[in-house]
Amino acid sequence: MDPEISIMLQCPSPKGLSETEVRAELSPAYDRRQLPGGQAWIDAVWEARCRHSPWLFNGSKFRLHSAQLDGDSLTFRLGLTCYKDFLGTNRAGMARHLQQQGRQDFGDSQAYLAEPLGVGAMVHTADDCFVFLRRSLKVGEAPGLVDIPGGHPEPQAVVGDVPEESIRLQDLPRQMVVKEIFTSILREIRDEVNLPLPTLSQPVLLGIARNQTSAGRASAEFYVRCSLTLEQVKQRYEIGGPEAQESTGIIFIKREDVLTLEQTGGMWRELCPSAKGAVRLYTLVQGGGQ
C-alpha cells in the first residue's frame, strides 16, 4: 500500500452518496486546539511563506474533525480553520511533533492541526476516460505532479459578504454547508478544466481520503460524469478557464487503466496524493461496475 495516502471513509454503496444523504454537524468543539506555545509559530511560518510567495492570502476553511456513516447517511463534523493555520500546522516541519503532542494531550493525533477539508473529483468523459491535470511548477503543493480537479469548499460562499475574519459557525446553516461541499467541486471542475456546469452531473461522494504528506489532511472525493468526449474536453481546456494557471496540461486515462493504476506503477508514481486517494476510492467503490 502507498504510504502517501490512507482511506478515512469509504461509501458502502457503489452508487456513492448524494447530497441528500449527507449532513453537517457544526461546533466550536470541532475547531483546532490551540498550540501549547500559542500562535507565534504559525505567524512566523506564514510571514516566511508570504515573503517567498507574496500572492498568498489567508482564507477561512471548514475543518474536518471526523465523519460518521449511519446506514445510508453520512455526517461531517466540522469546525472552522484557515489557510494560514494549515501552512503552520499540517504543512509545517513540526507536523509530526504536533501529531505526537495531540495523541499525548487529547488522544487525537490531529487535535493541533488545521485539517482543512478538501474536495476532488474523478471526472468521467462520455467516451470512458478520466480527466487528470499536470500541476504547474508554481503551485504551492505537489508542483509538476499529476492531479485531479479539486480545491476546498469555502465558508465565504455560504455567508456571502461577511468578511473572512468575521465568519462564525452560528452564521452557517448546516444544509447550506452540505450544499457548498457538493457545489464547490463543480466550481473547481469548471474553473480548472473550463467545463460548462450543464455538462456535469450532480456529484456523488465516494469517500474521504487522507494525504499523509500533509499530516493526514482529509479530502472528500467525488465521482462526476461529463457529457463531453475527450476531444471536446480537451478543446475546452485549451481555451482556458479562470484557474488555468494552476496546471500546464491535461491527461486522459481510460477507465480500464484507471482501475489498475495503483498496481501497474508507472503513472501512479506521477500522481500527487490527492489524486491517488481519489483513484483508490473510485476503484474500491465503483470499480466493479459503471
Number of domains in the chain: 1
Instruction: Give the mean pLDDT of 190-198.
Output: 97
Give, in order, the Cα–Cα distances in Å from 101 to each of 93, 179, 217, 218, 284. 14, 35, 17, 20, 33
Residue 56 has a pLDDT of: 83
To the nearest 10°, report the CA torsion of 29, 40, 166, 170.
0
- Mean pLDDT to the nearest integer, 100-119: 97
CA 279 to chain CA mean position, Å: 13
Buried b (16+ CB within 10 A) or exposed e, 129-165: bbbbbebeeebeebeebbbbbbbbbbbbebbeeeeee
Segment 200-212, tens digit of pLDDT: 999 999 999 999 9
Q: Residue 205: which domain range? A: 5-287
Per-residue pLDDT, 290: 47
Average pLDDT, the chain: 94
Measuring CA to CA, which residue among 193, 68, 73 is closest to residue 129?
A: 193
pLDDT at 33 over 80: yes
- Residue type for 93, please? G
pLDDT tens digits for 222-244? 999 999 999 999 999 999 989 88
Please state the pTM of the whole predicted model. Answer: 0.95
Other C-beta atoms within 10 Å of 253: how many? 16
Given a cut of 70, whether residue 288 has pLDDT beyond it is no
Strand, coil or helix: 201:
coil
Instruction: Name which of 46-50, 176-180, 273-277 the model is least confident about.
Output: 46-50
Q: Are 150 and 71 in contact (CB under 8 A)?
A: no
Instruction: Return the CATH number at 206.
Output: 3.90.79.10
Mean pLDDT of 173-199: 97
Specify the DSSP element, H or E, that contains 106: helix 95-106
Q: What are the φ/ψ torsions at residue 217 (nearest 5 degrees)?
A: -55, 135
Q: What is the mean pLDDT of residues 66-81?
A: 96
